[in-house]
Amino acid sequence: MWRKRPEIDLDKERIIKDVEKARERTMNRAVKLLAAKPRSIGELRERLLEKMWTNEDIVDRVIEKLKEYNYLDDEQFACSLALSKLRLKPQGKRRLQQSMSQKKLEKGVVDEAIRLAFEQMPEAVLINAAIAKRLRIKGKPDTREDTKKFYDHLLRQGFGFDLIRDKMRDVGKIKLEESEEDED
């Protein structure tokens, strides 16, 4: 289904006969790629250089032009991506950091985007949503093994161990309160 992208060999000589035509084709390809989905500058540069009819100079000029038009902005892209990932699926900082690192963004840009995203959607709120979803699907953990699986699930979602431990105590209290109500 997914085809592997060809390796880009920048050392391979690229002979551009008509620079203006290559620039135009590169610009058209860039606009089509951005229309399909938002991309970081690094991702777009890589995709544009896949084609042998362009070169680094042309790609750099096209990227600068797209920046002037405000079609490319790594800070805005990173912030939007971080927030949309959190809205789509509650996850912790570690997991979000991992998925954002694949987008060819500078580390500082990623860190700032994650910080801003977690200001808008605090990790404590996200872990509550993840716990509620897990409880709806699997029910409350009854055995020690179920509790460990619950912990492991939340760890895989990227939440910190201390936060998980604190929240799981609350899940245990809910369990105790319910069993006390059943006895009445």
User: Which residues of the chain have a pLDDT value below 50?
Assistant: 175-184
Asked if residue 4 belongs to a domain, the reply is: no
Predicted pLDDT of residue 184: 43
Predicted pLDDT of residue 45: 94
Asked if residue 8 belongs to a domain, the reply is: no
Question: Domain containing 147: what range?
Answer: 123-183
Predicted pLDDT of residue 13: 72
> Do 104 and 128 reside in the same domain of the chain?
no
Question: What angle is formed at CA 55 by the lines to CA 49 and CA 60, rounded to 5 degrees?
Answer: 85
Predicted pLDDT of residue 171: 72
Predicted pLDDT of residue 170: 77
Asked if residue 11 belongs to a domain, the reply is: no
> Do 82 and 93 reside in the same domain of the chain?
yes
The structure tokens listed for 7 are 């390796």
> Do 161 and 135 reside in the same domain of the chain?
yes
> Do 45 and 85 reside in the same domain of the chain?
no
Predicted pLDDT of residue 179: 40
Predicted pLDDT of residue 181: 42
- Could you count the other beta carbons within 10 Å of the beta carbon of residue 55? 19
User: Structurally, how many domains does the chain consist of?
Assistant: 3
Predicted pLDDT of residue 96: 94
> Do 116 and 128 reside in the same domain of the chain?
no
Report d(CA 125, CA 127) in Å as an integer.
6
The answer to whether 158 touches 131, Cβ cutoff 8 Å, is no
> Do 150 and 116 reside in the same domain of the chain?
no
**Tens-place pLDDT, residues 64-89:** 999 999 999 999 999 999 999 999 99
Q: What is the DSSP string of 103-133?
A: G---HHHHHHHHHHHHHHS-HHHHHHHHHHH
Asked if residue 13 belongs to a domain, the reply is: no
> Do 148 and 166 reside in the same domain of the chain?
yes
> Do 134 and 161 reside in the same domain of the chain?
yes
Asked if residue 133 belongs to a domain, the reply is: yes
The pTM is what? 0.76
Cβ burial of 63 (10 Å; 0-12, 13-18, 19+) is: buried
Q: What is the amino acid identity at position 178?
A: E
Asked if residue 138 belongs to a domain, the reply is: yes
